Amino acid sequence: MNITYCDRYVQIELLKGTRLLDKVLEYAQKHFSKHYRLSSSLLILDDGERFKKDYLINWTYHATLQSEQESTKLLPSPTKPSQAQKLESSLESSAQADEQESEPSELELLLRHSHLPIRIKITSPNDMLKRVKVHIHLTSLDQVLLRLEKDDRVARRYIRTLFGSKIIYEVENEFCINAAGYSESMWESVMSLISSRVIHNVALEFEYQKPEESESFLTREEYLLRKCYSELDVGFDESLEAVKKQYVKLAKIFHPDNALDKDPQTQEYYQDRFKKISHAYKTIKNAKAHKRATA
């Protein structure tokens, strides 16, 4: 289940044979006069029924949130609009760390496009799943980084729902998850994430930060160098130019000045991450210079 928009229409993607799809189709056929059923979709072209479109988008949006929270089994089902709004608020509170409060929410952006036609896309369970790779990087015994290889709204929203207040920061497609001070183990949520695998039409593929067999024979210097590459999230065989580009990107994101208006714990994490990023780049740069000099 997914809701997106483009310059031509708002698309509500629902799975064939589900109760939610039946309800949406029933509502559309009952309240919209200009609806057209195709083989795998239903088009709503009513231009003068924006209020009804707003209702349909709003209701479907919160229904998909309810479906996601039931799959995590961590939050109560929203049975009233007020509870759904509370859930939406809790998700928005864990939005990207550099996001301004004045920026519109995901739902607000969808409603701004409700003047467009609505396309209800009916997908089959056998349809090709969209695959999103998640890199799991252990930074300490009570902290992990989750990095999405590419942006995906469903995956990001699911991670926010699953980990909630355990998310220290979210920047771009990276989540820092912490367990310190919580009674429930962070690792229980991590295992729930890994066991989920498929969320609606998104298949999660996990890549773990783990030693290769050959790393057993590395010297301490070689091992620490590989850790630096991992800190910058670049491959060991990347060029210095590619490493520098990634370093500049991360340094801009995690510069301590970006956390001045945040709580002390978040400020501390930004400072620590910035130091690690700077140290990692300096170490890699020196190692490559030494390799060229001795070649």
* Segment among 100-104, 144-148, 153-157 with least mean pLDDT: 100-104
Domain 220-294 CATH class label: mainly alpha
pLDDT number for residue 185: 63
pTM, two decimals, is 0.50
Q: Quick one: pLDDT at residue 158? A: 82
Distance CA 61, CA 67 (A): 10
Distance CA 204, CA 187 (A): 18
Q: Cα–Cα distance between 149 and 64 in angstroms, integer?
A: 24
> d(Cα 151, Cα 134) in Å, to the nearest integer?
11
pLDDT classification of 96: cutoffs 50, 70, 90: very low
pLDDT range class, residue 279, cuts 50, 70, 90: very high
Per-residue confidence band for 37, with pLDDT thresholds at 50, 70 and 90: confident
Average pLDDT across the chain, whole number: 76
Ranges in the chain annotated CATH 3.30.70.1490: 130-208
- What percent of the chain stands above pLDDT 90? 10
Distance in angstroms (rounded) separating the CA atoms of residues 163 and 103: 23
On the question of pLDDT at 150 being above 90, the answer is no
DSSP helix/strand/coil, 176? strand
pLDDT over 90 at 174, yes or no: no
CATH architecture of 130-208: 2-Layer Sandwich (3.30)
- CATH 1.10.287.110 in the chain, residue ranges: 220-294
For 266, counting Cβ atoms within 10 Å of its Cβ (0-12 exposed, 13-18 middle, 19+ buried), the class is middle
Strand partners, 176: 145, 169
Work out the pLDDT band at 128, boundaries 50, 70, 90.
Answer: low
